[in-house]
Amino acid sequence: MTGRVIVITSGKGGVGKTTTSANIGTALAKSGYKVVLIDTDLGLRNLDLLLGLENRIVYTIVDVIEERCKLKQALVKDKKNPNLQLLAAAQTRDKTAVNAEQLKEICDILKEENDFVLVDCPAGIEQGFQNAVAGASEAIVVTTPEMSAIRDADRIIGLLATKEEITSVKLLLNRVRPNLIKSNEMMSVDDVVGILEIPLIGIIPEDTGIITSTNKGEPIVNDEEAMAGKAYRNVAERILGEEVPFLNLDEPRGIIAKLKSAISKLKVKV
């Protein structure tokens, strides 16, 4: 088996790379695929927290590289789904503890035994970025509908284009707020895609549930109700090659709005 190695990157910090990695990884594992998530944000690791796995980490990627343990020993199984494993970043080291060749080697080994290897990239375009993309053949660029994030995403897309190994670059637009788009206060999805000119793989709405899910160490894809969870499940399906229409984020969600729509449906029936 040769699995797919996908790097999740953005340029700008804090736009949702780690949230995206945790959620897509969990969704793919739930569909029965073997997935390894690699946290390459050395010194500022977060992925373990989002998955609620911090207390299980004994070895990190640096221990693997410095040969203090075998790669297998460093893989932490998810609490719920043994198909999902995490290779954690070291918290007490900095980016220089790892180089691109070493990361590529790890990806190459992991893809032999897994369907997906998802690499959570640190912010920036320096060593950490170079390391994270080294073993990947696909990339998901995460951005929010903000000028600064889009500018950085554009820069990243340009850099990715110079990497021969990377054959697919897709866009994930995060923290979208339909209300703001409607009132012309936020760039629309079309605007962003128009600027960046790469295919869209997902639109994730702004969802306060993400904050609680982060604090609980439970990715939001596990929440059947949440809009963002649904959107991430759709991204996973698109990665698997299925054609899934983009969610209608305008869907009324408040109680009154729901009532109104229920009433309007009734009227139609009558």
Ligand X SMILES: Nc1ncnc2c1ncn2[C@@H]1O[C@H](COP(=O)(O)OP(=O)(O)OP(=O)(O)O)[C@@H](O)[C@H]1O
123/235 with CB nearer another protein: 123
Structure tokens at 118: 């998802």
Does residue 9 interact with ligand X by CB under 6 A? no
Q: For residue 35, how many other CB atoms are within 10 A of its CB?
A: 26
Span of 78-86, 159-167, 203-211, 239-247 interacting with ligand X by CB under 6 A: 203-211
CB nearer another protein, residue 19 or residue 137: 19
Per-position DSSP letters for 7-70, written without gaps between them: EEE-SSTTSSHHHHHHHHHHHHHHTT--EEEEE--TTS--HHHHTT-GGG----HHHHHTTSS-
- Judged by beta carbon, residue 36 or residue 210, the one nearer ligand X is 210
- Quick one: 26 or 214, whose CB is closer to ligand X? 214
> Residue 141 belongs to what H/E stretch?
strand 138-143
Q: Candidates 18, 83, 137, 214: give the one binding Mg ion (CB under 5 A).
A: 18
Using the structure block, give the residue that is written with the tokens 């998955």: 51
Q: Give Cα 124 distance to the centre of its chain.
A: 16
The residues that touch another protein, with contacts defined as CB under 8 A, are 43-44, 52, 54-58, 68, 73, 79, 91-94, 215
| Residues pairing with 141 in the sheet | 9, 171
The site string for Mg ion over 37-56 (x = CB under 5 A, - otherwise) reads: ---------x----------
Count of residues in the chain = 270
CB of 19 to another protein, least distance (A): 17
Question: In the complex, which residues of this chain contact ligand X (CB under 6 A)?
Answer: 10, 13-19, 41, 46, 122-123, 174-175, 204, 206-207, 210-211, 214, 228
Which residues contribute to the site for Mg ion (CB under 5 A)?
Answer: 17-18, 46
